[in-house]
Amino acid sequence: MEDELIDIVDEQGNYTGKTCLKSEAHKYGYFHPTVHIWIYTTDRKILLQQRAFTKKVFPGLWDISVAGHIGAGEIIEKAALREVQEEIGYHISPENLIKIGTRKHQVNHPNGIIDNEFHHVFIAELKVPIETLTIQESEVAGLKLYDLDILNHTATYDNVLLPEYSEYYKNVFNAIVTKIEE
């Protein structure tokens, strides 16, 4: 896993003009921007990725379709499109990437990683068969389509998403249902 240069933001998410390595941000708890991309199908499925078992945080967990850090100076939407292409080999055109919000996230992991992030959250429709996707093995162990309702019932599944973020998942669910029903 590459230790990339990222921007540092303040506690309100404003860019400070400073940069650091991702490892430094996680060591010292500097706030930094990331992207979350939730990929759904019109028949009410959500694509989840199984995090690689070599990941330092939540190895093997079934998680967000695609997530990643925004490189220093990188435009947020371009970072989202890049991460989707890198992690699962799926090309999304910019007009099909829909931002649904930004959320402040703070957690201290038992292994010493301090995640102070602003997640820029997007949804996008999966328009190709899941079998055509190509995973980046250093990041992703597997891909699976789950019923969209899993976002409302995380506590009933083992090793799928994290129940403590159920309100976040419900917001994603509502945004996706709204988009499907348009």
The pLDDT of residue 81: 98
The pLDDT of residue 159: 81
Whose CA is closest to 37, among 46, 29, 45, 28? 46
Q: Pick the residue with more confidence: 163 or 145?
A: 145
Which structural domain range is residue 21 located in?
A: 5-180
Statement: residue 181 has pLDDT above 80: yes
What does the alpha-carbon distance between residue 11 and residue 116 come to, in Å, rounded to a whole number?
9
Tell me the CATH number at 43.
3.90.79.10
Calculated CA dihedral for residues 26, 27, 28, 33, nearest 10 degrees: -10
What does the alpha-carbon distance between residue 120 and residue 15 come to, in Å, rounded to a whole number?
14
* Half-sphere exposure (Cβ direction) of 57: Cα atoms closer than 13 Å: 16
The pLDDT of residue 71: 97
What's the chain's average pLDDT? 95
The pLDDT of residue 52: 95
What does the alpha-carbon distance between residue 40 and residue 20 come to, in Å, rounded to a whole number?
33
**CA angle (68, 29, 165) in 5-degree steps:** 55
Binned at pLDDT 50, 70 and 90, residue 120 comes out as very high
Per-residue pLDDT reduced to its tens digit, 16-67: 999 999 999 999 999 999 999 999 999 999 999 999 999 999 999 999 999 9
The pLDDT of residue 66: 98
Q: What length is written for the chain?
A: 182
What does the alpha-carbon distance between residue 130 and residue 5 come to, in Å, rounded to a whole number?
32
Number of domains in the chain: 1
